[in-house]
Structure 1
Amino acid sequence: MADFIETYGEDLRDLTEQLLTFKTTSGNEKEAQEWLSDRMNELGFEVYTWTADAEDLADSATFPSADAIDVDERPSVGGVLEFGDPETGPTLILNGHIDVVPVEESSWETNPFEPVWDGDSLTARGAVDMKSNLAACIFAAKYVHETNNDLDGRIVVESVVGEEEGGIGAVAAALSNPYPFERDAAIITEPTELDVVTAVEGSVMMNLEIEGRSAHAATRWEGESVLPHFERIRTAFRELELDRNERVIHPLYESFPISWPVNFGAVDAGSWASSVPAYLTSEIRIGVAPGEKNNAVETEYRDRLDAVVAESEWLSEHPPTFERRAIQFEPAEIDVDEPIVTAVQAAMRNRGIDNTEPRGATYGADSRHYIDAGIPTVLFGAGSIKQAHFPNETVEWSDVLTATEVLVDATVEFLSAETVES
């Protein structure tokens, strides 16, 4: 039997390169999804498409308001391959997202949407996060389908939209099953450095607004600058971060220097060099451990903010606002003994990966939506999260090939399990 690389190695490379030429930033996924749907049809998949309903998404914890969700002209795609008697075997999802984050082209050495090879290295926006891994799902499924005639069940390959915005396509798939069958497990091919990830961190996304009093810079003592107040709040939040990292313990996160980080990702203050800054806004991301609830962690930070306010006469009279932004990420975790976990671990060992211990990730992922719907889900893929959202985003192609072979073996391992009740 020919091995995967001999059979589909060039096809995987070609499809990846073509996917990388599409500028699939949020809201611009349709052309690529239509192209991918046609390609999957040509490869023999039965293709399903779905578009999320904003009102339905607003019922989830991720999206508090339907008005903030852009779903128009944003189809997600699922390709199905069936084996033997599909009703008596399990159904496995191989999932990737098609959307990519925007680029600042001035920070790139190459055109972000023209894939560039340097030996084994492939550079383009989405090379790591996560079009190489999405292509890997397609050809892993195709290879398993062609080379295993004694299996029962199904493989579903999903290309979903809006993951970077909270998981638009995945939330819709989890809430309203787009297929006429149930799903038993999923592998989401985030860039995990060929590790198996069974837990993802949550995050609360907040807006902080502080009011001061303007004055001419020549008499700045007549004003009330927002900057010292902001610095006291930032310091208090960092102290709480330190306290939480000592107090909230999870075995899969002990290796991280900061397990539940708080990050002030955007700060905007003042309007003119000769004026005392009288207004400040900041966008803040607060890490939430698996097993915690976003609401409870938000309350901790609200209480800490209230303590800072109580110590300041100005802030007591002009209290800051501290409100959630549109997108929230709940943490998620599955048992390390789940069959999908052991299937991936067996496949890793088969492909020469010695360290198969599950680990946690400090970022959020679409896995949380499937886990919440009762579908055990792991993350596994090529590349490093350190390259994601980064200028000159690069993946090592040898890792993509290894990841694809692991997906092949994990799929066979999972579908070879005992038949499910029909």
Structure 2
Amino acid sequence: MTTTKPHRLSQQRSSNVTEILTQLVAFPVLGGEGNHAIANWIKAYLDEYGVAYQTVPDETGTKEAIHCRIGPAVDGGIILSGHMDVVPVVGQPWDTDPFELTLKGDKLYGRGSCDMKGFLACCLASVPLLLRSRLKKPVYFAFSFDEEIGCMAGDLTAEAIRDFYDEKPGGAIIGEPTMLQPMVGQKGIMVYTTTVHGSQGHSSRVKQEVDAIHEAARLIVWLEDKMDALIAAGRTDDRFHPNHTSIHVGTIKGGSAFNIIANECSFDWDFRNIPMDDAQAIIDDFQAYCAERIELRRKTFPGFNITHSAMHPPVPPLDTAEDEPIVDLIKKISGRTDVSTVAYAAEAGQFSNAGFPAVICGPGDIAQAHRANEFCAVEQLEGCMEMIERLATFSSL
């Protein structure tokens, strides 16, 4: 590993980041909720500097993504991407108001300070620097919504950038918290609800009816066996921990009494696939097994069925080759050559699929995300500002 020794930012620039982060944290916009309040603040900020931006609304008109370009309309620019929404705080034992940024020692506490409004604040605080720089290649901002409920706007935002600008950006940096270590891979994720529709009757008639709970149990065991079969077949990638595609059932609900055969049972399950495993192939195999069970059990109860609903579209994995120019760039501007991967899902795979080679690199520790007393160290924000400053330098060469 090589590192670049950080220099202290000027007090004014450090203060600007904190002031902007204070404003962003104060917007309690959760994933799934309308986000015009925080988006309007960001747009007003960009207006102050004369930065033209575009908005990308969702189909309900209650949410919008924002993207903009600073610099010339030429190929090879870099996208800085993050999301505006956060996760709930209900039931978490916070020591401070989660929506009021609080400085304690060298840490800034608040919901989203780490995941990932800290990165957004660094981007916005860098606007004056980027405008002053004689950029020969542009820097883009891409701020999305509903990332926390399944990266719902990642495709929308990436495709909007691809289709709006005549030039083609050379890559994207997604600023999820990585302690400013470059990440070139992420797992994908898919979340499903599977519902088994059986027949109802007295529990003594278990062979004459079709118990939905019993059938759901078979499906759950099949999913676990599928995960084990992938591992046994050598479908592993040691860059990740765990090093395989994980398949997990999180909730199950069904039945009304111990002596009534259940006519319905549903369970929520997910898989987080390593890049070598195709998400659709897993789904197809599972549905093929379900079709076998349907054919068999309809001999007993013609109304038997198994249905599925996806909680959100699949989030693709990321697997950026280390010889991609974006990887060389992130090493230079972050000052770190020890690239790695993350197990969580992010929008990086979506940007990659849209044609923008992507890496993940941002301030803060993912261990602080989604928990009470979430924080981002001041030093991490300063390091992120320095990273963007170096990006401006390289974009001016």
TM-score by length of 2: 0.83
> Cα RMSD (Å) of the superposition?
3.2
The question of whether the paired residues in 2 share the 8 Å contact of 1:206 and 1:284 is answered with: yes
Query: In 1, Cα distance between the equivalents of 2:282 and 2:128?
Result: 43
1:389 equivalent in structure 2 = 370
Cα distance, 1:100 vs structure 2: 1.6
The yes-or-no answer on 1:377 pairing with 2:363 is: no
1:6 equivalent in structure 2 = 11
3-state SS of the aligned residue for 2:142? strand
The yes-or-no answer on 1:175 pairing with 2:181 is: no
**Aligned counterparts, 1:111-126, within 5 A:** 111-126=97-112
**Aligned counterparts, 1:333-352, within 5 A:** 333-349=319-335
Query: In 2, Cα distance between the equivalents of 1:260 and 1:315?
Result: 35
Distance 1:49 1:260, change over 3 A: same
The question of whether the paired residues in 2 share the 8 Å contact of 1:45 and 1:80 is answered with: no
1:23 equivalent in structure 2 = 28
The yes-or-no answer on 1:296 pairing with 2:281 is: yes
1:81 equivalent in structure 2 = 70
The question of whether the paired residues in 1 share the 8 Å contact of 2:315 and 2:350 is answered with: no
3-state SS of the aligned residue for 1:386? helix
The yes-or-no answer on 1:245 pairing with 2:245 is: no
3-state SS of the aligned residue for 2:323? coil
Query: In 1, Cα distance between the equivalents of 2:27 and 2:331?
Result: 33
Cα distance, 1:94 vs structure 2: 0.9
Distance 1:3 1:194, change over 3 A: closer
Query: In 1, Cα distance between the equivalents of 2:194 and 2:367?
Result: 28
3-state SS of the aligned residue for 1:295? helix
Cα distance, 1:345 vs structure 2: 0.7
3-state SS of the aligned residue for 1:267? strand
The question of whether the paired residues in 2 share the 8 Å contact of 1:94 and 1:157 is answered with: yes
Cα distance, 1:290 vs structure 2: 1.6
Cα distance, 1:323 vs structure 2: 4.2
Distance 1:268 1:117, change over 3 A: farther
Distance 1:401 1:221, change over 3 A: farther
Q: Please give the per-residue CA displacement for 1:346-385, whole angstroms capped at 9, x wherever unaligned.
A: 2232xxx4xx332232233222232222112211012233
Cα distance, 1:188 vs structure 2: 1.0
Query: In 2, Cα distance between the equivalents of 1:237 and 1:396?
Result: 40
The question of whether the paired residues in 2 share the 8 Å contact of 1:48 and 1:179 is answered with: no
Query: In 1, Cα distance between the equivalents of 2:340 and 2:286?
Result: 27
- One-letter code aligned to 2:47: N
**Aligned counterparts, 1:118-267, within 5 A:** 118-146=104-132, 148-149=133-134, 151-176=135-160, 177-179=163-165, 181-214=167-200, 220-222=203-205, 226-247=212-233, 249=235, 251=237, 253-267=238-252
Cα distance, 1:208 vs structure 2: 0.9
Q: Please give the per-residue CA displacement for 1:143-189, whole angstroms capped at 9, x wherever unaligned.
A: 3443x44x412212222222234445442333233445432221110
The question of whether the paired residues in 2 share the 8 Å contact of 1:344 and 1:407 is answered with: no
Query: In 1, Cα distance between the equivalents of 2:34 and 2:180?
Result: 29
3-state SS of the aligned residue for 1:51? strand
Q: Please give the per-residue CA displacement for 1:302-337, whole angstroms capped at 9, x wherever unaligned.
A: 345567778989999634334434422122332212
Gaps of 5+ in 2: 1-6
Distance 1:15 1:315, change over 3 A: farther
**Aligned counterparts, 1:251-290, within 5 A:** 251=237, 253-271=238-256, 277-290=262-275
TM-score by length of 1: 0.79
1:35 equivalent in structure 2 = 41
The yes-or-no answer on 1:47 pairing with 2:52 is: yes
- One-letter code aligned to 1:302: Q
Give % identity. 21
Query: In 1, Cα distance between the equivalents of 2:290 and 2:10?
Result: 56
Deviates more, 1:8-17 or 1:23-32: 23-32
Cα distance, 1:20 vs structure 2: 0.6
Query: In 2, Cα distance between the equivalents of 1:314 and 1:269?
Result: 22
3-state SS of the aligned residue for 2:158? helix
The question of whether the paired residues in 1 share the 8 Å contact of 2:142 and 2:157 is answered with: no
The question of whether the paired residues in 2 share the 8 Å contact of 1:5 and 1:401 is answered with: no
The size of the alignment, in residue pairs, is 384
3-state SS of the aligned residue for 1:199? strand
Gaps of 5+ in 1: 55-70, 418-422
